Amino acid sequence: MSRVVTRVVLGSASAGRLRVLRQAGIDPLVIVSDVDEDALLASLDPDLPPEAVVASLANSKAVSVAAQLPAEVASDCVVFGCDSMLFRDGTLVGKPGSPDAARAQWLSMAGTTGYLLTGHAMLRISEGVITHTDSETGSTTVHFGTPTDEELTAYVDNGEPVHVAGSFTLDGFGGWFIDRIEGDPSNVIGLSLPLVYRMLRRAGLSVTDLWSE
């Protein structure tokens, strides 16, 4: 007799987050939220701590996805919303959105240190009702290297840094230009396994019960 598995729903279009979960034994249902991140950021208190900013974005994404769930999924599932931003020199930096912005970001952060913050929001849903909520922000210290001008041009032309938080990746082409990190590497990719493990435990769920068959 097959076991009943609580469905994990990932509220993100991030290939990195999906890869982290799949490599750790969970094959989630992906439902992308319809949250307007720029509008939400503009509505937040400017004095809100950076950890709370990414947590607020993550929570909004989780709630948005929960409202889109098919009934059969909402009968027994756990929804994760995530948001990552780089905190450096007192400023939060998201996705640059253009090659020029990505290049400028790298020129300013090469040889410096920043903090990759990832907000995680979790909703436990049973019979269509949210029975448990949790929120936590992971932080990983990132020490940036100093690519040559030719390397930076090639990296920006590659397109990767334009669409990722802080204009860099750890698990892609950008990994060549990261000197070292302090903390959880999966948090830099966009979903912290140790943090998610703690959240699941607090919800009374065992991660081994969520592993794909």
Residues annotated as part of the active site? 83
CA distance readout (Å), 167 to 116, 186, 201: 11, 17, 33
Query: What type of residue is 199?
Result: M
Tokens of 43: 């509505």
Dihedral angle computed from the Cα positions of residues 132, 8, 85 and 142, in that order, rounded to the nearest 10 degrees: 110
Alpha-carbon span 143 to 102, nearest angstrom: 17
* CB-CB contact of 157 with 99 (8 Å): yes
179 — phi, psi (to 5°)? -70, -45
* Contacts for 25 with CB less than 8 Å, ≥ 6 apart: 207, 210, 211, 212
Alpha-carbon span 136 to 122, nearest angstrom: 9
Three-state DSSP class for 155? helix
Helix (H) or strand (E) holding 196: helix 193-202
169 CA to centre of own chain: 12
